[in-house]
Amino acid sequence: LLVLCVIALQGCHAAVTLTHVSSVLLPSSFIDASTKDVFLAGLKKPYIVDGSGGAAGVIMTEVTETGTPEYFPDFQGKIAVSQMLKGGAEQTAWHGAYKLIVSVGEGGILSLVDASNALLKVHQAIDLNSTLTDVEVCGDHIVVTAEGPQGKAGFGKMHILKIDPITKKATQLLYSPLDTGHLPDMLHISTSCKVIAVANEGEATFDAADKFINPEGSVSVYTFTSLDTAPTSTEKVEFQKFNAAARQYVQMGVFWVLRPDNMAAWMDASDCTFSKDLEPEYLAFSSDENTIYVNLQENNAVVTIDITNSSAPELGGLFPLGFQSWADYKIDTSDKDGGVHMVNYPGVFGLGQPDTMKLFAHGGEDYVVVAMEGDAKEYKSNSGDHEWTEEQKGAAFAAKMSEDAPSGLAEALADKTQLARVRITSARGAVGEGSNMTFDDAVYDKVFLYGARGFNIYKANAEGLSQVYTSGDAVEHYHMTHFAEIYNSEMNEDDFSEILRAGHDSRSDNKGSEPEGLAVATLSSGKRVVFVGSERTSVIGVFDISDPASPIFQSAIASGDSSVSFQAGFMAGGLRANMDPEDMHFIPAAESPLATDTLLVVGALNGVINLYTIDSAESEERSTYVTEKAAYVAKNDAGATKKTAADWDCQAGAGGKSKVLEHFTMVGMKLADFNPFLSAGDVEEVPAANTCLGRNDQFNCLDFPSVFSGMSLAQGSVGGSAVFFGVSDNGPNNGCGNLATGATMHVTDAGGKAFPVQNFSPIIAAVTLNSNGLVERQSSCYLKLKDGSPASGMPTSPSDDTPFGPNCQTAQLSYDHNGFDPEDVHQIPGTPYCWAVEEYSPSAVVFNCDMSDSNMCGVVEARYVPESVKLESAGYKVHSILPDVYTHRRKNRGFEGGGVSPDGKLAYAFMQSPMLGDDDNTILRFLEFDISDPLNAKVIGEYLYRGEDPAVVGNWASSNVAKDLKISGAQWYGEDMSNKHLLVLERANDQVKVFLVDLSSATNVLTMPDSATLSYEIAPAAFAAKYAASVKTATKTIVFDTATTEGWTYSMKQEGFTLLNDCVMAFGDDNDFGLEGNTEAGGGTVEV
């Protein structure tokens, strides 16, 4: 009956995810038993009754799945009918003390649902005989807003009911209902239950005589001493005071839709004033409850009202919410382009026009989050003789664009695969707007679409609102990436036999997935999140907004089975989950019938209420996000085929020694192929005698790519093409002390480094090996900050190498807290993330490596640094959790080996070389992390690794000293999580070895006093004498040695390696971009 597709984009364990638990179908109307057959025969939409159903109905009492209600509340002797699109439920409220869900819908039924446990049951249903618009609870009282007898053309009503604490049933109070303004759309109650505010939309309509009327929008403010008695004051706040400055407000960005200059001939100018065009949709109270923020959806603005004295409310300011430029974000605007095509359009803007608005406090200040749904105004008389709309399709603007419009915009507006079909307002964007011109006469230099297809966050106070965040194209993007089959789809209200995925792409020309519902929650874990419900696709996205200026996408869930028809899904007990999640509420664990953080969601189209558990803690189940789904685009040589892991079997060399099976070379590429934001000016030319082996134009010449500072086999490669992940280091650079003789240097500090490409951003690349002996890039991205801007490869602090320009001929360059020097990379199973270790600081880094998502790929999500390291200007989350002793690493000798367990719960970071201490010490440290929550990893272990002592004859083939020892890579070995085994690549001058390392008997020194000092960094003999009884280093067994490998004639700078099967390894050469003589046949290489 219910299929849920869940994707988690924040590390699964750490991510906030939703799990559906139970549902209840609510009645949309009552009928008399005597007229039942006639009534049901006339229904065209799917329905369910609680008695014997008609041909399209089912018998509710025969549906026994968990969560389906048994209808035995008091229906006054009538039969309850639940019908699609008939308003069984639209708005809800939660009563924690009584464990009641209270719900209303357009059908006129107020439902009280018993939520004392997961089996939700309708406890009471009351027919209020009106279109109900909102409901809230406070204490023992329920407050409901409704249209009045004249509908939109007359005043509305506010019903107040009291709940009996014994029976938990509600009865309307004698003084109820109260009058409201026209079309009360939303209400809010103060925490004291003494002030109620109602947003009266005042939407224009035609009355019973078919006369066009446009009431003033308003906010009604009621003051009570107790809700048991009638209000002591009722005040209505209208907006006429804004009329005098209407044009100034329009210039500021407030959208005046129906104006005297664009009204129809059959309208009266008095119905087209600025104040009558302002339509309150939603409202929120400030934290101190002295200010009401009133959302004017169609006008893309917010009004403030001071209710410090609620008996005398004062109208405050009118503030525009700004526009979204689709030149800055991507959007799909056509349902005729053959699928998903998100592109940028200069000169095209989104109006925003938010629906739901939620307020929360952060750092002593108020913020509002709004769902930028969008909405057009259109009016049609009852007779059909009169009609007015602002909405036009893009094609109507193609010939109306001025010479000042962006190049190509007119052509895009004429193209049905681009903008020709998208809905655009004619009431904004015209040159000389407001000059009494008709649409036929108007000329436009820009166009405005409805909504912004996401959500925004604003800092709010009585002086106005200032935007701190926009989701841009993120909502549409997670639909595209993870719910492609229902991307921008909607239900076909004319054919309920159709399935949801049949509507794929059908809403791209009209507000997309249409974000509408919101809920803000502070979870038991301490995270603050916002749930974003998309009306058309019924997808709910989750974002961490603990930092309002930098939300982090957590997960998304799609409700219902998109392969089942709407009628079949509804008829199966109504349980097609939340179709149109219009209203959502957070239920804290202490109040929840599920005894955990819970999300209450109402499906407005099918009248179903749903409960979801909210999980942000570790569990045994992991969601199935796998990066092998990334759409790699192969660019193989003609006739070449990709190698698979199965192409290499166990072939020993002579005498059973290791043997090189194949050698692959990476083709030359330009730096800008990896960093597309680079321009020629970003790559400084350096004197030809001292550069890049004679290449004095690194930007335009084919460069020596360097993507094997770290290397691992991508998930999914065992059964298909062997895809390898590799990382570059910090980019082209060379040590000042290594420059060619005769170079004119600005400094003589040999510890400095030259950075000829200061804007370079480190690379993550997916590569394959082909049958022609080539390494081929399939996809790549570069490290990015949370705002999408590139990270850099520049040193972070004076503890790193001093940065200079080309050949160290410039003054010292600035350090950069957003600089990285990655040296190893591993995917974290079940997530879109990679674990990388790097040399600056040193640190471990979690970043997005989902190659199918070009916007998110490379985004740094978390960086783990030593306790005393504070990267204040970092554009990502920094966790100072590593032992501070790691700040004593040698320059340019930080972490270089990593590793992640197959279950994604453990990760490692190995120091490249012995830290400062005795010059002949051979102890290298490494850390163990719990990454069940990759974005909040914990250090849980520290171990010691004894490097091969150069003083021992036979350990190394050539002369080495202790500081020449380097660990350049590591990876987990085996599938048994109870046995911690790692493969570690150790190298010195002219030789590479790989060891199988066993941690089972190694001492975890993390909490030992000596681990906080350099006590372990002493000569081997001294270490053995001092720690023989108390500290055991990890045991190691050699499994590979280049000195004994048949056919090994390659570079010894093997910094990347990975295991293909039990006896075959692949090694990747770090050629340092060819800057220090290591070109290895023109590019990076892989030896198998």
- pLDDT digits 0-9 by tens, 386-402: 999 999 999 999 999 99
- Separation in Å, CA 32 to CA 81, 125, 430: 11, 15, 56
CB atoms within 10 A of CB 680: 12
Task: Say which DSSP state 568 is in.
Answer: H
Q: How far apart are CA 686 and CA 596, in angstroms?
A: 62
Beta bridge partners, 296, equal 280, 301
Higher-pLDDT residue of 652 and 717 is 652
Report residue 1010 as tokens: 């000596």
Model confidence pLDDT, tens digit, residues 606-630: 788 889 999 885 333 322 222 222 2
Confidence (pLDDT) at 575: 47
Task: Kindly tell me the sign of the dihedral angle through the C-alpha atoms of 589, 591, 594, 597.
Answer: negative
Which residues are within 8 A (CB) of 611 and not within 5 positions of it... i.e. 6 or more apart?
A: 20, 21, 22, 23, 115, 118, 120, 587, 593, 594, 598, 599, 600, 601
Instruction: Give buried/exposed letters for 271-292 (b at 16+ CB in 10 A, else e).
Output: bbbbbbbbbbbbbbbbeebebb
Q: What is the longest distance spanned by two Cα atoms in the chain?
A: 106
By DSSP bridging, strand 906-911 and strand 895-897 are antiparallel
Question: At residue 835, does pLDDT exceed 50?
Answer: yes
Q: How far apart are CA 643 and CA 641, in angstroms?
A: 6
Where would I find the beta strands (DSSP E) of 884-980?
Answer: 895-897, 906-911, 923-930, 938-946, 966-972
Full strand arrangement of the beta sheet holding 723-727: 710-713, 723-727, 763-769, 774-782, 663-666, 1085-1087, 1064-1069, 1054-1061
Tell me if 1054 sits within 8 A of 711, measured CB to CB.
Answer: no
Higher-pLDDT residue of 34 and 730 is 730
Q: If 0-12 CB within 10 Å is exposed, 13-18 middle and 19+ buried, where does residue 688 land?
A: exposed
Which residues are within 8 A (CB) of 16 and not within 5 positions of it... i.e. 6 or more apart?
A: 10, 523, 527, 529, 542, 544, 554, 555, 614, 615, 616
By DSSP bridging, strand 877-882 and strand 895-897 are unpaired
- Judged by average pLDDT, the poorest of 128-132, 161-165, 406-410, 493-497 is 493-497
Q: How far apart are CA 686 and CA 821, in angstroms?
A: 23
Task: Kindly tell me the sign of the dihedral angle through the C-alpha atoms of 993, 999, 1000, 1002.
Answer: positive
- Annotate 856-871 with DSSP letters as a single string: TTTBEEEEEEETT---
Report residue 307 as tokens: 């209710």
Tell me if 883 sits within 8 A of 1005, measured CB to CB.
Answer: no
- Judged by average pLDDT, the poorest of 602-606, 610-614, 837-841 is 602-606
Model confidence pLDDT, tens digit, residues 408-463: 999 999 999 999 999 999 999 998 775 566 788 899 999 999 999 999 999 999 88
Mean pLDDT of the chain: 83
Model confidence pLDDT, tens digit, residues 885-894: 999 988 888 9
- Annotate 716-739 with DSSP letters as a single string: T-SSSB-EEEEE--S-S-EEGGGS
Closest CA to 123 of 142, 105, 99: 99
Confidence (pLDDT) at 15: 79
Question: At residue 717, does pLDDT exceed 70?
Answer: no
Beta bridge partners, 906, equal 930
Q: What is the pTM of this model?
A: 0.60
Q: How far apart are CA 323 and CA 300, in angstroms?
A: 9
Confidence (pLDDT) at 51: 33
CB atoms within 10 A of CB 338: 9
Confidence (pLDDT) at 76: 57
Using pLDDT thresholds of 50, 70 and 90, give the confidence band for residue 285. very high
Instruction: Give buried/exposed letters for 195-218 (b at 16+ CB in 10 A, else e).
Output: bbbbbbbbbbbbeeeeebbbbbbb
What phi and psi, each to the nearest 5 degrees, are found at residue 567?
-65, -45
Question: At residue 66, does pLDDT exceed 50?
Answer: no
- Separation in Å, CA 194 to CA 186, 191, 522, 595: 17, 8, 26, 31
Q: How far apart are CA 832 and CA 715, in angstroms?
A: 11
- Separation in Å, CA 935 to CA 471, 616, 766, 784, 860: 20, 12, 23, 16, 10
